[in-house]
């Protein structure tokens, strides 16, 4: 599975959009991009995933560049409850996947 | 929420003792995973299973073994616990196929003294 690179930390004002970047320059053609988040010490929570098209669900939007080497997770109206560690991973199928250290997003009042 | 439970949720054990952690699912998902998470770090894959009796190693498998005799249960065993295995252990499940997300359990906090 391809490795990903994320900034270690980011801040965002409450009510503003949070844009979390992820670099996955070695992604292969059949690997999907997944985003998870982990609040406090809970188990990670699935947010969204995509292959090459932009995706949106009730939690977030995922923008994948045309060359698929990077992506951005967008939380359109961040709240204090969105403070968490966000993980970007790439994988195909049900096999191995690697979680890096993620980005710690702090939403401030 | 996906039906995943882990037991025990907390355990303190002594160095050299065997320890078994259990992950139980009610979703009938094919894939099950064990991860460990150390303070300030992301999750590292220990072992995973792609079916009953079918398992494979992850990136940090030394000192750990797994077994899956039923679809719903995936056991992680530390044959002889060491202090370096003090960690939080998460189980996850996913359906088969190329684009299925993982669902995680609540975690087991293991302390080896």
Quick: pLDDT tens for B54-92.
999 998 999 999 999 999 999 999 999 999 999 999 999
Tokens linked to A15: 């009510």
Q: Give residue B16's pLDDT.
A: 97
Check CB contact under 8 Å for A101 and B41: yes
Residue pair B42/B50 in contact by the 8 Å Cβ criterion: no
Positions of chain A with pLDDT lower than 70, given as ranges? 1-2, 93-95
Of A43, A94, A102, the CB nearest to B104: A43
DSSP state of A5: B
Place of tokens 């996913």: B94
A 55-84 residues with CB below 8 A of B? none
Q: Give residue A1's pLDDT.
A: 60
Q: Give residue A93's pLDDT.
A: 67
Q: Give residue A92's pLDDT.
A: 76
* pLDDT value at B34 more than 90: yes
Pairing of strands A32-38, A45-50: antiparallel
Check CB contact under 8 Å for B35 and A30: no
Check CB contact under 8 Å for A95 and B88: no
**Under 8 Å CB-to-CB from A66, ≥6 apart: which residues?**
none
Tokens linked to A20: 């979390």
Quick: pLDDT tens for B37-56.
998 788 999 999 999 999 99
Q: Give residue A99's pLDDT.
A: 83
Q: Give residue B97's pLDDT.
A: 64
A34 touches chain B (CB under 8 A): yes
């Amino acid at each position: 599975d391809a490795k990903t690179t994320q900034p270690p930390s980011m801040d965002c004002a409450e009510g503003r959009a949070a844009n979390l970047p992820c670099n996955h320059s070695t992604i292969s053609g059949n690997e999907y991009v997944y985003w998870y988040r982990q609040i406090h010490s809970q188990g990670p929570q699935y947010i969204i995933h995509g292959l090459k098209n932009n995706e949106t669900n009730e939690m977030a939007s995922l923008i994948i560049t045309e060359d698929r080497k990077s992506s951005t997770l967008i939380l359109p109206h961040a709240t204090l409850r969105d403070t968490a560690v966000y993980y970007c991973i790439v994988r195909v199928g049900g096999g191995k996947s690697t979680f890096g250290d993620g980005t710690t997003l702090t939403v401030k009042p | 929420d996906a039906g995943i439970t882990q037991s025990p949720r907390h355990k303190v054990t002594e160095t050299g003792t065997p320890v078994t952690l259990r992950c139980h699912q009610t979703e009938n998902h094919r894939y099950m995973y064990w991860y460990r998470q150390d303070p300030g770090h992301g999750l590292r894959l220990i072992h995973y299973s792609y079916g009953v009796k079918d398992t494979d190693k992850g990136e940090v498998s030394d000192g750990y073994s797994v077994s899956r005799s039923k679809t719903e249960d995936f056991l992680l065993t530390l044959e002889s616990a060491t202090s370096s295995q003090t960690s939080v252990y998460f189980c996850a499940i996913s359906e088969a196929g190329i684009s299925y997300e993982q669902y995680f359990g609540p975690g087991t906090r293991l302390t080896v003294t």
